[in-house]
């Protein structure tokens, strides 16, 4: 299978970690000769915005849609204050390509990372198109004492809740099968005790899907957790959780929280998944503080290449990438700076590639 993959490094350390991920894909083809990759680099991000007036040029979207089967996205810098006309391009991309599911696996591997909590193996399945991310905001003068007022819409639809719940259920079933006898579980996260209509809709549709015909007899356990208490539990008993499904914003917050459990944001990958396209994306940001120093941890990006393959149906390629990274972490002779070691990006990449 010949795959044409777009590389969108974006800003900051995106420029350092996306090439690393691409080299992992390239290396993979030597042991999996049925796979081949060609790459196109596409502009995106704040730098692109300052150069072209758009953080997500039409041409980038067009090329993705017409020429590519998948993509890897790095990170973009947020301006430190509101800049007219600037909009987060990754949020735009998710919407334009209808990448409705953001899948974020968080797993401890028994590595040497000081802050890794053992036994964590969960997946955050984040709705990726709506909630407050519809970005419908307005501002007005509230009058007198009140001053300026701004409002944003949080929108939840049955359709989006249904498809994200299905995705969560399917992932839980697949994980259950891989693990053998341990039951799959999906935890629905919401705040319906306050937002009875919006989060109430998400909750009831997700519950309906996960306890409905499609998953009957699959042994899925379906639970719920209010979002504040979910964050608490995530830190108290992370080993308990399997698949966590959440509306967009809660999913965003929960996945950063979960990243803290495995030692660093620099380890956590994601896939933005739609029905016909997948974009792999490390969960970390552009990290301006370490940009250009050659010490960015490439693992989140490399694992994201694995996630991209997994959701493109290339399970074997994905598995090899995951295994090579896990082995690298477990051995722990070459350790990234964010995990308390001294190894630079290039050294880590080399150590992972040789295990592929």
In the complex, which residues of this chain contact a copy of itself (CB under 8 A)? 78, 81-82, 88, 91, 115, 132-133, 135, 137-139, 142, 145-159, 162, 191-198, 200-201, 204, 226-229, 231-232, 234-236, 249, 252-253, 255-257, 259-261, 265, 285
- Binding flag, residue 316, ligand IPM (CB under 6 A): no
Say whether 147 sits in a helix, a strand or coil.
coil
Question: CB of residue 268 vs a copy of itself: minimum separation in angstroms?
Answer: 10
User: CB-based contacts of 122: which residues, under 8 Å, 6+ apart?
Assistant: 105, 106, 107, 238, 241, 242, 243, 244, 258
Nearer to ligand IPM (CB atom), residue 259 or residue 295: 259
127 DSSP assignment: E
Question: CB of residue 298 vs ligand IPM: minimum separation in angstroms?
Answer: 17
- Binding flag, residue 228, ligand IPM (CB under 6 A): yes
Question: CB of residue 167 vs ligand IPM: minimum separation in angstroms?
Answer: 17
Please, which of residues 23-82 interact with ligand IPM by CB under 6 A?
none
Of 249, 232, 250, 322, the C-alpha closest to 241 is 232
Say whether 34 sits in a helix, a strand or coil.
coil
- Binding flag, residue 252, ligand IPM (CB under 6 A): yes
136 DSSP assignment: -
Question: CB of residue 255 vs a copy of itself: minimum separation in angstroms?
Answer: 8
Say whether 141 sits in a helix, a strand or coil.
strand
Question: CB of residue 228 vs ligand IPM: minimum separation in angstroms?
Answer: 5
Nearer to a copy of itself (CB atom), residue 37 or residue 46: 46
- Binding flag, residue 125, ligand IPM (CB under 6 A): no
Nearer to a copy of itself (CB atom), residue 27 or residue 128: 128
131 DSSP assignment: B
Nearer to a copy of itself (CB atom), residue 27 or residue 335: 335
Distance (Å, rounded) from C-alpha 143 to C-alpha 164?
41
- Binding flag, residue 194, ligand IPM (CB under 6 A): yes
Long-range contacts, 77-86 (Cβ 8 Å, 24+): 77/11, 77/12, 77/45, 77/46, 77/47, 77/285, 77/286, 77/288, 78/46, 78/285, 79/46, 83/49, 85/49, 85/53, 86/46, 86/49, 86/55
Question: CB of residue 352 vs ligand IPM: minimum separation in angstroms?
Answer: 23
Per rule CB under 6 A, count of chain residues that contact ligand IPM: 8
Strand 185-190's sheet: what is its strand order? Answer: 36-41, 2-10, 70-75, 278-280, 271-273, 101-107, 121-127, 243-246, 185-190, 221-226
Long-range contacts, 250-253 (Cβ 8 Å, 24+): 250/126, 250/189, 250/190, 250/191, 251/102, 251/104, 251/124, 251/125, 251/126, 251/127, 251/128, 251/189, 252/126, 253/227
Question: CB of residue 283 vs ligand IPM: minimum separation in angstroms?
Answer: 6
Question: CB of residue 33 vs a copy of itself: minimum separation in angstroms?
Answer: 40
Distance (Å, rounded) from C-alpha 354 to C-alpha 350?
6
Which partner, ligand IPM, a copy of itself, none, binds residue 288 by CB below 5 to 8 Å per kind? none
Distance (Å, rounded) from C-alpha 210 to C-alpha 81?
42
Which partner, ligand IPM, a copy of itself, none, binds residue 155 by CB below 5 to 8 Å per kind? a copy of itself
Which partner, ligand IPM, a copy of itself, none, binds residue 195 by CB below 5 to 8 Å per kind? a copy of itself
Nearer to ligand IPM (CB atom), residue 55 or residue 220: 55
- Binding flag, residue 88, ligand IPM (CB under 6 A): yes
Select the residue interacting with ligand IPM from 20, 56, 91, 246 (CB under 6 A).
Answer: 91
Please, which of residues 154-193 interact with ligand IPM by CB under 6 A?
193
Tell me how crowded residue 187 is: count the other CB atoms within 10 A of its CB.
Answer: 23
Q: What is the binding site for ligand IPM (CB under 6 A)?
A: 88, 90-91, 193-194, 228, 252, 283
């Amino acid at each position: 299978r010949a795959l044409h993959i777009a590389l969108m490094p974006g800003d900051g350390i995106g420029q350092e970690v996306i090439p690393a991920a691409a080299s992992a894909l390239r290396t993979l083809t030597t042991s999996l000769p049925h796979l081949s990759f060609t790459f196109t680099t596409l502009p995106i991000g704040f730098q692109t915005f300052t150069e072209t007036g758009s953080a997500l040029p039409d041409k980038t979207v067009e090329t993705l849609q017409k020429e590519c089967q998948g993509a890897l996205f790095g990170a973009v810098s947020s301006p430190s204050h509101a800049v007219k006309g600037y909009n987060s391009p990754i949020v735009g991309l998710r919407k334009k390509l209808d990448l409705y599911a953001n899948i974020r696996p968080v797993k401890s591997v028994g590595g040497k990372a000081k802050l890794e909590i053992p036994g964590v193996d969960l997946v955050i399945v984040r709705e990726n198109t709506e909630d407050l991310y519809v970005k419908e905001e307005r501002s007005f003068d509230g009058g007198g004492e009140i001053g300026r007022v701004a409002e944003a819409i949080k929108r939840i639809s049955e359709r989006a809740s249904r498809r994200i719940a299905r995705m969560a259920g399917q992932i839980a079933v697949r994980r259950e099968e891989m693990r053998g006898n341990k039951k799959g579980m999906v935890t629905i996260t919401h705040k319906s005790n306050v937002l009875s209509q919006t989060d109430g809709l998400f909750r009831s549709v997700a519950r309906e899907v996960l306890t409905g015909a499609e998953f009957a007899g699959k042994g899925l356990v379906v639970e719920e957790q209010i979002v504040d208490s979910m964050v608490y539990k995530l830190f108290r008993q992370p080993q308990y959780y399997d698949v966590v499904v959440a509306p967009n914003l809660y999913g965003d917050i929960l996945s950063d929280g979960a990243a803290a459990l495995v030692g660093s944001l620099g380890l956590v990958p994601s896939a933005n998944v739609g029905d016909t396209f997948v974009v792999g994306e490390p969960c970390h940001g552009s990290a301006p503080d370490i940009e250009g120093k050659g010490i960015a941890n490439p693992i989140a990006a490399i694992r994201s290449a694995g996630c991209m393959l997994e959701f493109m149906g290339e399970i074997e390629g994905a598995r090899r990438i995951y295994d090579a990274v896990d082995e690298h972490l477990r051995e722990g002779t070459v350790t990234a700076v964010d995990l308390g070691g001294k190894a630079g990006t290039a050294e880590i990449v080399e150590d992972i590639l040789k295990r592929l």
